Copies of this chain bind each other. A is one copy, B any other.
Amino acid sequence: MRIGICDTTFARFDMGAAAIDELKNNATDLKIIRYTVPGMKDLPVAAKKLIEEEDCEIVMALGMPGPMEKDKMCAHEASTGIIRAQLMTNKHILEVFVHEDEEDNPQELKKLAENRSRKHAQNLLQLMFKPKELTRNAGKGLREGKEDAGEL
């Protein structure tokens, strides 16, 4: 199975590498195609190209929006494009965004970026290979990279 990883030079942690490491540690026979672009807004078309020109079955789109209002808007525009790309291709593109202001401490932010990337790599594997596992966890309040919120 061909899996696309697109990420950015704007991000302050190599989220793509963490995702790829997690995928390789947990599955065999994956062909991973990586595509790095400058910023978040370049991710939607990169993900679509991975699907349509590189025959990827699923893609992860990883980015780190900055802390300013302008950056929030960029993230919104990128997200909207990522959803549109999915609807045009009928393939999942897992958006993995870590907002720089989610943590004050750079080390915590780095840890969050790594954990979220890895957790979504596991989500990808479940979507592709163990969809029943996801249904078993429906409504469980799972969170990626932070403590789960849990069931009400």
**Chain A interface residues toward B at CB < 8 A:** 7-17, 34-38, 41-42, 44-46, 48-49, 52-53, 66, 70, 72-74, 76-88, 90-95, 99, 106-107, 109-110, 113, 120, 123, 127, 131, 134-135, 137-144, 149-152
Contacts and interface: CB of A to CB of B under 8 A. Distances in A.
B152 A113 contact: yes
Nearest to A18: B139
A13 to B, nearest CB: 5
B138 A17 contact: yes
| Most B-side CB within 10 Å, residue of A35, A72, A141 | A141
B38 A139 contact: no
Contact of A42 (B10, B92, B138): B92
A82 to B, nearest CB: 8
Count this chain's copies in the assembly.
5
A85 B109 CA distance: 33
A132 to B, nearest CB: 9
